[in-house]
Amino acid sequence: MNWSEWKEQNQFLRIFEEFSKIPHCSHNETAVSNWLAELARGWGLEVMQDQKMNLYIRKPASPGYESRPPIILQGHMDMVCEKNTTTCHDFIQEGIEMIVDGDWLHAKETTLGADNGIAVAYMLAILQDKDAKHPTLECMITTEEETGMGGASAIDGTWFTAKAMINLDSEEEGYALVSCAGGMRSQFEIPFKREPAGLKSKGFRLEVKGLKGGHSGAEIHHGRGNANQILGRVLGALTEKFTFGVSAVSGGNKMNAIPREAQAILMVEPDALESISSHLHFLEAVINQEMRGKDQLELQLHSMEEMVSVWDRESTERIISALVLCPNGVQTMSVNIAGLVESSTNLGVVSTNEDTVLFESAIRSSMGSLKREIADRVARLAVSLGGEHRIGSEYPAWEYREDSPLRDLLVESYREQTQKELQVTAIHAGLECGLLGRTMSDLDMISIGPDMKDVHTPEEALNLPSAVRTYKFLLNVLKNYND
């Protein structure tokens, strides 16, 4: 089917398209929150917005369901805004341009935002549907999920009467999540001093590119290259053989996305250029051999016109050491669930400011003590290199619940719909369930969603048949829900 046919047959896809026309990166959700609120009020529903622009929407039970207990549907309206360097797309002003490729929906050179716009579309479609069978629905659509769950941290739990919640922020059909890791944002800065570059030096931009990137929780175990750490490794290898100056380093856009690209501004004397270029080709081949089957790297060197000052030798050594030594990737694996990452950290963003280089990491763990231990290692590294460390936002893990009537209902409903068994499992990526469970005690929660791939990258895609099946599954669960 083409995109028009998919939309004609599925109201939630029409809503998703309209939703996606409104810019909604994290911290830029006011316009889309107002649009959603206006829609719901137009349907005669009870709507509340809080200061964080979180939305609370209540729809009365359908006829015959008034005596059944209410249930919460939950997702977030913000998205990770990543794009290819070849596009000039402006996420602040422009919506998402969608493309259908077979059964997959993706965007033109940007993230799609199905994480978690598809949850918003599901909820809005059910809220609008007069024929859907369900108890009282209490919908919660949060903001700032992708940058530390700031919206969920501010939720007013007293508005809700339900004791069960379906989170719609998962990315694999046939799996129901019942536990997730907690996380924190870690930042440290290393100061530097500058000095003039050599009189004969010319400017060059060293680029690390071509990597896949991905979600720093769901895909951290795939062994994909981290552009920031590779940049540190390459700079370190070059300093062992050649004399040149470094003026700046940068890489990545989001702490919770594995960085695909990074760059350094170098001042190189022309006599050394050919040897440096040759060694870069050698390093590219070595690193690609190490990552074979997992990722593919490109190292490129581009000339620049302007002359710039460079860091002194001590500053250069400290900053390269920070890039190389900062903890990154999988740290521990679960001993209870085979194949599940227990703790990890992702050096997601590196940026050069006026007199410091800033390093930003997303740390995750299902154990609070391990999360703090990783943060302590980062802090000790920062201090040893003359820097300062700080912790940003933090959210708790979502712990497994032994007794869950909601889980039992989903297992039964999935078996009825598909004649297959629903896989109940945990995930290393963070979900808002941990924070919301702390805000609203004794909340029975589960998380589901359709098949997606490469989220948090410009290759993000939503499987359309899976999205349709998952929506029908959700409708079936609401129809059968009776605590």
Cite the active site residues.
78, 145
Neighbours of 235 (CB within 10 A): 20
Only one residue has tokens 């890489």, namely 251
The DSSP string of 174-241 is: TEEEEEE-EEEEEEEEEE--EEPPPTT-EEEEEEEE----EETTTTGGG----HHHHHHHHHHHHHTT
**In contact, 150 and 206? CB cutoff 8 Å:** no
Residue whose token pair is 């997303």: 362
The arrangement of strands across the sheet holding 175-180 comes to: 46-49, 55-59, 137-142, 71-76, 164-167, 444-447, 175-180, 423-427
Residue with tokens 């702490």: 255
Spatial contact of 218 and 146, defined as CB atoms under 8 Å apart: no
How many C-beta neighbours within 10 Å does residue 404 have?
18
Q: Comparing C-alpha atoms, which of 53, 71, 204 is closest to residue 132?
A: 71
Q: DSSP per residue over 316-370, as a string? A: HHHHHHHHHHS--EEEEE-SSSTT-EEEEEEEEEEEE-SSEEEEEEEEEESSHHH
d(CA 230, CA 263): 10
- Residue 459 is classified by DSSP as T
